[in-house]
């Protein structure tokens, strides 16, 4: 099998290629040049970009084998996430790679604005010594309003706390108790606007946040206020800010981002009390290296078919270790259930029971679906396209949780409802301490079978001699049995579950089924 091909479409840290490792064929192009990008993306498994490459619907449509788009940074303005999801392509970024760099720049802009560092520097370069003209203000004992108390907002607050400031914040998604632990008092936006001597913005750009600091907001601030935006352009209305500053209603501003970029001709750049930088929030050697390494690791995981915590079009985020240990089990149980189905799948119910439900287990739904569709279709199935495949095929999906789990500390159960009205139910658990996945339920049968690459299931009317017949036929065919268990339900029906070292040919499966008078014989392989 040929090595996976990874396209690096922009200049990235050398550590990126090192983090990818030797298992990939790396190719390069100028992603900003469409004539280079479109043919280059056609036959690669992954593409790594920064901000200059537009991975839009056209580019995604041209990519015949693309599995992952990796943005070495935070923003995804240049990636069509919806088109990628529809195509079953995972999109990943590096959400924490630049947070320290961005926070430090925001603090730098705030201090530069407070002390008139930029105009004083420019004057001295011109040979002008103007100490009195560039008198500034201290940050100590002032009120700093942090608009958006996410990861970067928290870092800014922590760093400014050392200056002896009064910290207030506006963020409707942060609990006051959590803010209090950080030494921050939560306030309404109007309260923050009225009280703050410095306002620093750290919100994502959404329809709700665009223009948030606009004419109305700027009518409520102190005339001595300094406004800092190192988050996203457009959150601070640049036209309204220019008007407020020229009218003396805002004392200073520090800006790193703009509504339209690149931006070189904003009226704000004509004002001496505006400190402006060209979107340098992530522009440190450290941030670029962190971003490159982070997305390289994500690409490795994605191309290995594993769940990527930083995937933006998959339920991601940090997965608890207890849940992570069950991910392979959920996928394998889904595959086994589908392998036992005798008709088309109409509905998939995933039940998660026991101690594990104390954690966020939504990702187990994706894992189980991935297992189901790996059996159903021949095309590659990922955590991204599994829900899409279910929707396209009209398969209903539901996840339920329950604290009680009977004899097991935790249990994952996949129930398939088929188009003929029948059902298939398979339950599994992870056994400590080696975290071995095993099947413990097949419909009404209780079993205890370690999951294996190759499994066979025979249902029959219980009678003597069946085990011998099965063993002899497999032995004659040179197929070694790894394990065997016989289980009986409340009637006289029995189930044999076998783990074998190699696949059972269809002809032999039929022969065994006929010779023991089985109601059904099914072979399931968990090797994708």
Residue 77: pLDDT band by 50, 70, 90 thresholds? confident
Whether residue 309 contacts residue 346, with contact meaning beta carbons closer than 8 Å, is answered with: no
Which pLDDT value is given to residue 320? 77
CA 208 to chain centre: 23
Tell whether the model's pLDDT for residue 430 goes beyond 70: yes
* 330: number of Cβ within 10 Å: 28
Please indicate whether the domains covering 99-276 and 315-451 agree at the CATH topology level: no
- pLDDT tens digits, 380-395: 677 777 887 888 788 9
Confidence of residue 68 (pLDDT cuts 50, 70, 90): very high
Strand partners, 166: 143
Residue 78, pLDDT above cutoff 70: yes
Q: What pLDDT does 1 receive?
A: 45
pLDDT for residue 315 is more than 80:
no
pLDDT on residue 2: 65
Task: Give the angle 331-335-340 at the CA atoms, nearest 5°.
Answer: 150
Lowest mean pLDDT among 22-26, 89-93, 306-310, 340-344: 306-310
Q: How confident is the model at residue 321 (pLDDT cuts 50, 70, 90)?
A: confident
DSSP class per residue in 302-319: HHTT---TTBSSSS-SPP
Question: Which residue(s) pair with 436 in the sheet?
Answer: 431
On whether the CB atoms of residues 160 and 107 are closer than 8 A, the answer is: yes
* Helical (H) or strand (E) element with 454: strand 454-461
Angle at CA of residue 362, ends 386 and 153, nearest 5°: 110
- Higher-confidence residue of 305 and 252: namely 252
Instruction: State the average pLDDT over residues 191-195.
Output: 98
In this prediction, residue 318 has a pLDDT band, given cuts at 50, 70 and 90, of: low
For domain 4-94+286-303, which CATH number applies: 3.30.230.10, 3.40.50.720, 3.30.930.10, 3.20.20.70? 3.40.50.720
For residue 528, the model assigns a pLDDT of 65
Cα separations (Å) of 86 from 83, 465, 476?
Answer: 5, 52, 48
Instruction: Give the sign of the dihedral formed by CA 298, CA 304, CA 308, CA 313.
Output: positive
Task: Say which CATH class 453-528 falls into.
Answer: alpha beta
The one-character DSSP state at 2 is P
Architecture of domain 315-451: 2-Layer Sandwich (3.30)
pLDDT tens digit sequence for 216-234: 999 999 999 999 999 999 9
Please tell us whether the domain made up of 99-276 is placed in CATH 2.60.120.10. Answer: no
Alpha-helical (H) ranges within 49-170 are 57-62, 81-86, 99-115, 117-125, 151-161
Identify the pLDDT of residue 431: 81
pLDDT value at residue 174: 87
Catalytic residues, by residue number, are 232, 261, 279
Share of the chain above pLDDT 70, in %: 98
Q: Mean pLDDT check: name the lowest of 377-381, 397-401, 470-474.
A: 377-381
| pLDDT score recorded for residue 178 | 85
Cβ-based burial of 460 (10 A; exposed 0-12, middle 13-18, buried ≥19):
buried
Residue spans of the domains in the chain: they are 4-94+286-303, 99-276, 315-451, 453-528
Q: Which residues contact 456 (CB under 8 A, 6 or more apart)?
A: 496, 497, 498, 500, 504, 509, 521, 522, 523, 524
Q: What is the pLDDT of residues 28-49, one digit of tens each?
A: 999 999 999 999 999 999 999 9
């Amino acid at each position: 099998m040929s090595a996976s091909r990874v396209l690096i479409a922009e200049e990235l840290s050398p550590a990126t290629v090192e983090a990818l490792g030797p298992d990939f064929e790396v190719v390069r192009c100028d992603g900003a040049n469409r004539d280079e990008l479109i043919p280059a993306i056609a036959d690669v498994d992954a593409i790594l970009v920064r901000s200059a490459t537009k991975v839009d619907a056209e580019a995604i449509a041209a990519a015949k084998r693309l599995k992952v788009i990796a943005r070495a940074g935070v923003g995804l303005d240049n990636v069509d996430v919806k088109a990628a999801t529809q195509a079953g392509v995972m999109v990943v970024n590096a959400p924490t790679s630049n947070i320290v760099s961005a926070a430090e720049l925001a603090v730098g802009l705030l201090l530069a604005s407070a002390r008139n560092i930029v105009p004083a520097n420019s004057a001295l370069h011109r040979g002008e010594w103007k100490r009195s003209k560039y008198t500034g203000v201290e940050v100590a004992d002032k009120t700093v309003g942090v608009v958006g108390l996410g990861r970067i907002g928290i870092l800014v607050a922590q760093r400014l706390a050392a200056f002896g400031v009064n910290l207030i914040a506006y963020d409707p998604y942060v609990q006051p108790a959590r803010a209090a632990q950080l030494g921050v008092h939560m306030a309404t936006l109007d309260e923050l606007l009225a009280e703050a001597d410095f306002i620093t913005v750290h919100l994502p750009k959404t329809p709700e946040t665009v223009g948030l600091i606009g004419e109305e907001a700027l009518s409520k601030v102190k005339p001595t206020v300094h406004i800092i935006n190192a988050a996203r352009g457009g959150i601070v209305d640049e036209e309204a800010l220019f008007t407020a500053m020229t009218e003396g209603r805002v004392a200073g501003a520090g800006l790193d981002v703009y509504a339209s970029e690149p931006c070189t001709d904003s009226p704000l750049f004509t004002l001496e009390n505006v400190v402006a930088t060209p979107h340098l929030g992530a522009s440190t050697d450290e941030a670029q290296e962190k971003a490159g390494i982070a997305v390289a690791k994500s690409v490795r995981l994605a191309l290995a078919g594993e769940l990527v915590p930083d995937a933006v079009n998959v339920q991601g985020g940090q997965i608890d270790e207890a849940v992570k240990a069950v991910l392979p089990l959920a996928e394998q149980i889904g595959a086994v259930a589908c392998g036992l189905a005798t008709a088309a799948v109409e509905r998939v119910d995933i039940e998660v029971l026991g101690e594990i439900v104390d954690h966020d287990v939504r990702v187990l739904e994706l894992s189980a679906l991935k297992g189901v569709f790996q059996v159903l279709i021949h095309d590659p199935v990922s955590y991204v396209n599994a829900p899409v495949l279910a929707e396209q095929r009209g398969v209903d999906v539901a996840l339920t949780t329950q604290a009680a789990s009977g004899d097991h500390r935790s249990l994952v159960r996949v129930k398939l409802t088929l188009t003929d009205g029948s059902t298939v139910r398979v339950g599994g658990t992870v056994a400590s301490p080696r975290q071995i996945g095993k099947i413990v339920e097949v419909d009404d049968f209780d079993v205890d079978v370690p999951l294996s690459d190759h499994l066979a299931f025979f249902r029959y009317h219980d009678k003597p001699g069946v085990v011998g017949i099965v063993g002899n036929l497999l032995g004659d065919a040179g197929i070694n049995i790894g394990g065997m268990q016989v289980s009986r339900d409340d009637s006289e029906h029995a189930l044999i579950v076998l783990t074998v070292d190699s696949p059972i040919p269809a002809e032999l499966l039929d022969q065994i089924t006929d010779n023991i008078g089985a109601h059904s014989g099914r072979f399931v392989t968990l090797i994708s």
